[in-house]
Every structure is written in C-alpha cells, then in structure tokens.
C-alpha cells in the first residue's frame, strides 16, 4: 500500500535573536539568512542594536530576512529597557512590530511585584491587540522553586490555560520546567495558540532551552500536531546556544534545529472517506 500523501503546515520557521547569544542581533540576521530560516524574532533588550528599531529595519532590508515577531522587553534582565513603565514598553513593542512588518508581539505575564501593571492586565492586553492590530501572544511560564518551595512569581499566574487570554505563545522549555507536556497544552489551547517557541527541556528546575528533540517535550509530535491542525502561525527557534561552545557548533545546532522543524512540520493527509471492498464510501 502506498504511503499517504503528506501535508505541510503553512507555519513560518523563525530564529529568535536570543538563540545566538552572546552573539548579536546582527549575527542572528546573518545566520538566519545563511541557514535558510524564514525570518527573525527580535528579542528586545539582549543587545543595544535590538532596542534601535531603525537599525533593525536596516538589518532586515540588508539581509532580506523578514521580522516575524517582536519579543517585548519583559525579562528580568530587561526590566529597564525602554524605561520602567510596562504599558509604554508594550506600546513601543507594537510600534516596533508595525514598523518591521511583524504581526506578533510575545509578552510574559507580570511579575508578582508589578502589581500596578498586573491590575486589569488581561482586558488591557486584549484592548491593546484590538487597538494596534498586532497580536499580543501571552507566553506560558513556570513556577519558581527554591528548597522545595514553590514561589508565586507571576500574576495572575504562570499557566495561562485557565486565564482569558485570547492569544498564547507555547514555549516548550517552559512547559518542561513546569512539569507539563506541550502536546497537552497545544490541544487544550486550540485556536488560542498563535505562536510557538520551539525548544526543549529535561524537566529541570532551570529553564534550559535545549535544542528541540533533546528533551522530554516530544517536540516532533508537537510539530506534527500543528501540521495536522494547519497551524499558520510562527514557529520560532528559541534555544540557549551558549552551551554550544564554539561558533561552528552553534551554527551546527541552529542548522539541526531548522532541519528538525522542517522535517516534522508535516502530517499524513487524512481522507474524510474510506472505500470498502464493494466500492461503497463511508465517513471515517
């Protein structure tokens, strides 16, 4: 019997500028173009160039690599990037996305000490999406654990599943650190899943961001599930390549990750009908 034909997800495969750290945003564009990625996710705050959107626009045009998404500066290390008013940061992220022709901004839930920012966060984020036309995709996080104690680090919580966010980013490494499975999260979220950070983890308390396929998240199955559902968002590689050691190994890891994504973002075409031995068709 012939193998069933395959269908490929319409998703674009991007490279996060954070995946080349400690190299620069400029290096990310160069590597993305040379390796064949479809585009870039700009992590704002990793290096000075990432905060200069005019400079990023020039990199985009020079390398002819589109910017697919912008990651707002909401990490611990970027709390003062673009000032300290978090709503101003999100407005600037939306403006950056529009200038760069990106359609997604990735954002984290507020830290628990950012109580003013967290107040009415969900409806305000929804309003920001509607007002700017840029899709703000809230990223799943994980509990902070110390000496066997779980700390409440995010408001309203680290798991967005039961919170009324309209659009979500699935990060496979964060799911692993949280003791969750990305396959289950993707199924639970359904159409709310708008963006994916392709990576992996081993279940460690540390957020590892391993090369996909090297951890416990069944990353290949997650991608096949996306293909089955005709996922049309972005799949962005977000790995920690500092462990690669050398530039050559970093490039090899990024090339391996792209090949992994391309080879797994497909699924067999399922016929809606089966024909029995008498030639009668029936729904399956």
pLDDT-based confidence at residue 278 (cuts at 50, 70, 90): low
Length of the chain: 284
Q: Is the pTM of this model over 0.75?
A: yes
Fold of 6-283: TIM Barrel (3.20.20)
Residue 70, phi-psi category: left (phi > 0), alpha (psi -120 to 50), beta (remainder) = beta
Taking the C-alpha atoms of residue 146 and residue 279, their distance in angstroms, rounded to an integer, is: 64
Before 22, cis peptide (omega within 30)? yes
Tens digits of residue pLDDT in 165-210:
999 999 999 999 999 999 999 999 999 999 999 999 999 888 999 9
Q: What SS3 state is found at 8? A: strand
Domain boundaries, the chain: 6-283
Tens digits of residue pLDDT in 78-123:
888 888 899 999 999 999 999 999 999 999 999 999 999 999 999 9
* Residue 16 φ/ψ, nearest 5 degrees: -75, 140
Tens digits of residue pLDDT in 19-50:
999 999 999 999 999 999 999 999 999 899 99
Tens digits of residue pLDDT in 207-247:
999 999 999 999 999 999 999 999 999 999 999 998 888 99
pLDDT over threshold 50, residue 284: no
């Amino acid at each position: 019997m012939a193998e069933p034909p395959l269908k490929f997800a319409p998703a674009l495969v991007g490279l996060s500028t954070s995946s080349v750290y400690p190299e620069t945003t400029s290096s990310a564009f160069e590597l993305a173009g040379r390796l064949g990625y479809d585009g870039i996710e700009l992590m704002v705050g990793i290096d000075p160039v990432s905060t200069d959107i005019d400079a990023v626009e020039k990199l985009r045009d020079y390398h002819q690599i589109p910017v697919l998404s912008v990651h707002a500066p909401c990490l611990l290390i970027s709390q003062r990037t673009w000032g300290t008013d978090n709503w101003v940061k999100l407005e600037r992220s939306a403006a950056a996305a529009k200038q760069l022709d990106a359609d997604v901004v990735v954002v984290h839930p507020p830290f628990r000490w950012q109580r003013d920012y967290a107040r009415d966060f969900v409806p305000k984020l929804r309003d920001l999406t509607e007002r700017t036309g840029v899709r703000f995709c809230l990223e799943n996080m994980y509990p902070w654990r110390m000496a066997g104690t779980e700390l409440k680090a995010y408001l309203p919580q680290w798991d967005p599943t039961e919170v009324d966010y309209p659009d979500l980013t699935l990060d496979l490494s964060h799911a692993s650190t949280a003791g969750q499975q990305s396959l289950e999260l993707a199924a639970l979220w359904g159409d709310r899943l708008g963006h994916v950070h392709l990576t992996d983890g081993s279940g460690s308390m540390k957020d590892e961001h391993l090369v996909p396929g090297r951890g416990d998240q069944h990353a290949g199955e997650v991608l096949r599930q996306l293909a089955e559902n005709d996922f049309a968002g972005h799949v962005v590689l977000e790995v920690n390549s500092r462990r690669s050691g050398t530039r050559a190994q970093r490039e090899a890891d990024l090339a391996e990750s792209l090949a992994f994504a391309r080879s797994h973002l497909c699924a067999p075409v399922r016929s809606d009908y089966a024909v029995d031995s008498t030639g009668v068709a029936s729904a399956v």
